[in-house]
Amino acid sequence: MPLITVSMFPGRSDEQKATLVRLLTDVFLKCCGGNWDGVWVMLEEISKQHWAFGGKLRSDPDAKPAEYSQGK
């Protein structure tokens, strides 16, 4: 049984999460086959204090968003 794991910042509504789970499951089944009950999706909400890019915590006020997208 496949397990799809999504790590993301908190803040999405239950409706957004339900849509994401449904769409991920649908795409997996179209690509790889199987049945709806056989695909598991796990959503992990990770706070910005526990997420880092380029050696800086995402919660760091000195970190600029462009630094993350440019890999600096």
Q: What is the number of other CB atoms lying within 10 angstroms of the CB of residue 25?
A: 20
Does 65 participate in catalysis according to the annotation? no
| 29 neighbors 64 (Cβ within 8 angstroms) | no
**One of 2, 10, 61, 65 is an active-site residue; which one?**
2
Q: What is the number of other CB atoms lying within 10 angstroms of the CB of residue 20?
A: 16
Which residues are designated catalytic? 2
